[in-house]
């Protein structure tokens, strides 16, 4: 596998497996961009895919869900990783540019609210307190501003940039409207940057996808989230994300596929492999798989699209 790092962009050059083709006869290219949250799954699928067809190159960019949709709707990619559903404005652009799309769920995620492991005052937080912190014009500057029993110490915030589907989902779930948020926090396209920010800052608070917390849980502490003052706080785990009790931050995550791109045999075989490999690989990279029946349903949809 060949990797190059750019600002806000990670390219993974790999190869692919197949269903219809045999041996290493398949060759071509699959262009993917989009969500950093979905990236670990797609990367794992691409790595799994490469052993059969080394002449198929899979390029994976990380521009955030919104940035990825911009490229997808400009015909710069075949597949968009997305940690939210397509927006109305993006649907209109798709119509204008005459670009079709198929939304295919690939896993469940739970946006995790995390702090430094030496934070010994906060173990849970309510949605109202999250809104108090993250709403536009927020006056929260210290932990004490959030909850009176917490210390009068600065609260330093870390979160995804505005092109991120995680940002879109979190702001809608917490603040009531997508893209509505305070702006005075440390932003990063790469969640690993946010992880390191919290690891190195006792007074930090951040939010990002469950996989990035799960991969670093020895160095981070996830707060349990309560939907209101009367509800019991719920921690993000595979079980609570899967059964929907981790409210309101559990969600499905997706890939979007251009049906026109499926005429490219390399794209078709990669996408089909995604559906057969995901039940195994999703768990390996720290996310929650869909029911097996859902992957089979996705596979059947792909078969219909190419008829």
Please, which pLDDT band fits residue 4 given cuts at 50, 70 and 90? very low
Q: Is the pLDDT assigned to residue 23 strictly greater than 70?
A: no
pLDDT (mean) for 22-48: 90
Which residue in the block uniquely carries the two structure tokens 């490469």?
50
Q: Is the pLDDT assigned to residue 60 strictly greater than 90?
A: yes
CA distance 33 to 47: 16
pLDDT in tens, 264-305: 999 999 999 999 999 999 999 989 999 999 999 999 999 999
Task: Tell me which of 5-14, 144-153, 196-205, 291-300 is least confident.
Answer: 5-14
Q: What is the 3-state secondary structure (H, E, C) of the chain?
A: CEEEEECCEEEEEEEECCCCCCCCCCCEEEEEEECCCCHHHHHHHHHHHHCCEEEEEEEECCCHHHHHHHHHCCCCCCEEEECCCCCHHHHHHHHHCCCCCEEEEEEEEECEEEECCCCCCCCEEEHHHHHHHHCCCCCCCEHHHHCCCCCCCECEEEEECCCCHHHHHHHHHHHCCCCCCCCCCEEECCHHHHHHHHHCCCCEEEEECHHHHHCCCCCCEECEEECCCCCCCECCCHHHHHHCCCCCCEEEEEEEECCCHHHCHHHHHHHHHHHHHHHHHHHHCCCECCCHHHHHHHHHHHHHHCC
Q: Looking at per-residue confidence, does 126 or 50 come out higher?
A: 126
For the CA atoms of 282, 284, 286, 289, the dihedral, rounded to the nearest 10 degrees, stands at 30
**Structure pTM?**
0.85
pLDDT in tens, 181-239: 999 999 999 999 999 999 999 999 999 999 999 999 999 999 999 999 999 999 999 99
């Amino acid at each position: 596998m060949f990797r190059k790092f750019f600002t806000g962009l990670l390219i993974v050059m790999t190869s692919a497996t197949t269903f219809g083709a045999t041996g290493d006869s398949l060759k071509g290219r699959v262009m993917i961009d989009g969500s950093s949250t979905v990236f670990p799954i797609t990367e794992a699928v691409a790595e799994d895919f490469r052993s059969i067809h080394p002449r198929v190159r899979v390029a994976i960019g990380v521009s955030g869900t919104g940035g990825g949709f911009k490229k997808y709707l400009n015909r710069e990619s075949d597949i968009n990783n997305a940690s939210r559903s397509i927006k109305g404005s993006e649907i209109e652009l798709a119509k204008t540019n005459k670009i079709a799309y198929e939304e295919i769920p690939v896993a469940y995620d739970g946006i995790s609210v995390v702090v430094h492991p030496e934070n010994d005052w906060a173990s849970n937080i309510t949605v109202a307190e999250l809104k108090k912190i993250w709403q536009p014009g927020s006056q929260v500057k210290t932990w004490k501003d959030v909850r009176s029993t917490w210390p009068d110490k600065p609260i330093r915030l870390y979160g995804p940039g505005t092109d991120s589907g995680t940002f879109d989902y979190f702001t809608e779930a917490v603040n009531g409207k997508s893209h509505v948020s305070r702006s005075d926090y440390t932003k990063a396209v790469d969640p690993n940057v946010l992880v390191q920010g919290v690891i190195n800052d006792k007074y930090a608070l951040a939010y990002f996808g469950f996989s990035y917390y799960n991969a670093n849980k020895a160095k981070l502490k996830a707060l349990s989230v309560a939907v209101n003052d009367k509800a019991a706080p719920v921690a993000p785990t595979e079980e609570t994300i899967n059964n929907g009790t981790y409210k309101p931050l559990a969600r499905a995550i997706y890939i979007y596929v251009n049906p026109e791109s499926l005429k490219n045999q390399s794209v078709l075989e990669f996408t089909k492999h995604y559906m057969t490999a995901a039940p195994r690989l999703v768990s390996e990279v720290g996310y929650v798989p869909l029911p097996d029946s859902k992957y089979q349903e996705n596979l059947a949809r792909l078969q219909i699209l190419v008829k």
